[in-house]
Amino acid sequence: MALVILRTGIEILRESSEDLMDTVPNHELRQRIVKMLMVIPGIQQIEETQAHRFGPYLVINVTVGIDGSLSVAEGDRIATQVERTLCREIDLLQRVHVHYHPIQHGMQNAVST
């Protein structure tokens, strides 16, 4: 009986720590996010993807790389399109935080964690 209680406690601790550390709930969700975003015109790189639970909902933080010569208004247009795409395609998504950075030349089409 003690082993069952210990195992349950470890599972609860593991799940809670993942939520606190902004890990993407599963690898498939991260791949899905990257796939959706890389077709948006102007996005040249997915630099970072994080998600955490907010009750039954998700909150996603994503950082994308765009051409550094674009205007702030164009960067904002791309960020808005990212937000709308994710909200439309992912169930129970509560909020999206989009950050965009100018990419370094030679780093196009790279995907990092």
**Complete DSSP assignment for the chain:** -HHHHHHHHHHHHHHHHHHHTT--S-HHHHHHHHHHHTTSTTEEEEEEEEEEEETTEEEEEEEEEE-TTS-HHHHHHHHHHHHHHHHHHSTTEEEEEEEEEEPPTT-TT-B--
User: Tens of pLDDT along 63-105?
Assistant: 999 999 999 999 999 999 999 999 999 988 989 999 999 986 5
Inter-residue contact 60 to 51 (CB < 8 Å): yes
Lowest-confidence region among 3-12, 19-28, 56-65: 19-28
Residue with tokens 């996603």: 60
More confident residue, 9 or 60: 60
Q: Domains in the chain and their CATH numbers?
A: 22-102 (3.30.70.1350)
Work out the number of other CB atoms within 10 angstroms of the CB of residue 106: 6
Joined together, the tokens standing for residue 26 give: 């599963």
User: Tens of pLDDT along 15-50?
Assistant: 766 655 555 567 888 899 999 999 999 999 998 998
Joined together, the tokens standing for residue 61 give: 């933080």
